[in-house]
């Protein structure tokens, strides 16, 4: 199912995160959180932007450019000029918190969560940025808000709060204005102790790919929650993964510094199963 695992020739990150394939641009974006950088790889050329604050997620914007979930809120980044524009502040009163992982649903609403810099339990929350730039808290009492994605029919939403060692799944109703999710239950358990599930992505067959921080792996779970495949990486701290490439058969994997020969490197491998296109923010 997976072949040709390759370390890509881009600068290593301290904490590489949030890979996202922009099909319109033919570009992979990712962030280096503590370095306050957004990276891009397109046609073999690497670029990066200094953004002056940590960002945990980056998504394309349907009208052009990028949107970040950064320390202080949701910001637009103009790749041509590097200009940042605040779309909506998040938790401006909590200086010890920052935004972390996130993704957009098909309607183009951007979901991203927060966490405390000191990882204080329950200090974070999950937020939804609507197309009109209004922000709503949709889940409280989160510790390290991480991977989020939807099933191919968007009737399920997968979500990881890392210290729970769980991948949770919710029923999702994309048709409502509030994008209601309900009936949360455990989809799968992963890790233990310092080994925790981090980012995730769902493929076109509904398989759920989960990065295992501290565990040196990306794992694929079938839609019924069965562990089907483990991909070993030469870096313990595997942070996230995303499908990209012209046919969405390339799985990109971000990592962070730590044990292993290649901590912080960006990897790619070929998958027989294609991914789903990343949704842009439509506001
Ligand atoms: Ca993460």
Please give the Cα distance from 283 to 104 (Å, whole number).
11
pLDDT at 266: 98
Please give the Cα distance from 106 to 59 (Å, whole number).
13
The environment of the single-atom ion ligand 1, i.e. residues with CB closer than 5 A, is 101, 146, 198
> What is the distance in A from the centroid of ligand 1 to the CA of 136?
21
Task: Kindly report the average pLDDT of the chain as a whole number.
Answer: 97
pTM of the model: 0.97
- DSSP helix/strand/coil, 162: helix
pLDDT at 262: 98
pLDDT at 174: 84
Q: Are 272 and 248 in contact (CB under 8 A)?
A: no
Q: Which residues are catalytic?
A: 198
Please give the Cα distance from 59 to 64 (Å, whole number).
11
**Interval 173-196 mean pLDDT:** 89
> What is the distance in A from the centroid of ligand 1 to the CA of 97?
14
Sign (positive or negative) of CA dihedral 105, 161, 201, 55: positive
**How many other C-beta atoms lie within 10 A of the C-beta of residue 85?**
11
> What is the distance in A from the centroid of ligand 1 to the CA of 20?
13
Please state, for a pLDDT cut of 90, what percent of the chain lies above it. Answer: 97
pLDDT at 177: 58
**How many other C-beta atoms lie within 10 A of the C-beta of residue 267?**
23
pLDDT at 175: 81
| pLDDT tens digits, one per residue of 155-181 | 999 999 999 999 999 999 988 756 688
| pLDDT tens digits, one per residue of 5-42 | 999 999 999 999 999 999 999 999 999 999 999 999 99
Residue 79 has pLDDT above 80, yes or no: yes
pLDDT at 179: 66
| pLDDT tens digits, one per residue of 237-257 | 999 999 999 999 999 999 999
Please give the Cα distance from 158 to 251 (Å, whole number).
18
pLDDT at 240: 98
pLDDT band at 130; cut points 50, 70, 90: very high
> What is the distance in A from the centroid of ligand 1 to the CA of 207?
19
Please give the Cα distance from 170 to 234 (Å, whole number).
33
- DSSP helix/strand/coil, 113: strand
> What is the distance in A from the centroid of ligand 1 to the CA of 108?
21
pLDDT band at 208; cut points 50, 70, 90: very high
> What is the distance in A from the centroid of ligand 1 to the CA of 155?
24
Please give the Cα distance from 146 to 5 (Å, whole number).
24
| pLDDT tens digits, one per residue of 40-77 | 999 999 999 999 999 999 999 999 999 999 999 999 99
> What is the distance in A from the centroid of ligand 1 to the CA of 239?
5
Nearest to 23 by CA among 42, 39, 9: 42
> What is the distance in A from the centroid of ligand 1 to the CA of 147?
7
């Amino acid at each position: 199912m997976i072949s040709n695992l390759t370390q890509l020739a881009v600068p290593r990150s301290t904490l590489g995160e949030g890979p996202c394939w922009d099909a319109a641009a033919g570009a992979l974006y990712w962030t280096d959180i503590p370095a306050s950088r957004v990276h891009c790889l397109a046609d073999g050329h690497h670029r990066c932007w200094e953004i002056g604050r940590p960002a945990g997620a980056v998504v394309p914007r349907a009208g052009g450019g990028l949107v970040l979930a950064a320390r202080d809120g949701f910001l637009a980044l103009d790749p041509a000029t590097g200009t940042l524009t605040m779309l909506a502040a998040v938790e401006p009163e909590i200086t010890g918190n920052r935004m972390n992982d996130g993704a957009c649903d098909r309607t183009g609403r951007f979901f991203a969560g927060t966490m405390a810099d000191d990882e204080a339990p329950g200090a974070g929350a999950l937020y939804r940025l609507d197309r009109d730039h209004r922000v709503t808290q949709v889940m409280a009492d989160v510790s390290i808000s991480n991977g989020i994605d939807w099933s191919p029919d968007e009737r399920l939403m997968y979500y990881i709060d890392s210290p729970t060692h769980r991948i949770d799944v919710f029923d999702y109703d994309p048709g409502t204005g509030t994008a209601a999710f309900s009936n949360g239950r455990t989809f799968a358990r992963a890790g233990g102790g310092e080994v925790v599930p981090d980012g995730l992505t769902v493929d076109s067959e509904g398989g759920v790919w989960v990065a295992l921080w501290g565990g040196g792996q990306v794992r694929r779970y079938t839609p019924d929650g069965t562990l089907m495949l483990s991909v070993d990486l030469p870096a313990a701290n595997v942070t996230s993964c995303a499908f990209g490439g012209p046919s969405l058969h390339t799985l990109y994997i971000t990592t962070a510094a730590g044990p292993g020969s290649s901590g912080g490197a960006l990897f790619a491998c070929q998958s027989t199963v294609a991914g789903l296109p990343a949704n842009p923010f439509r506001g």
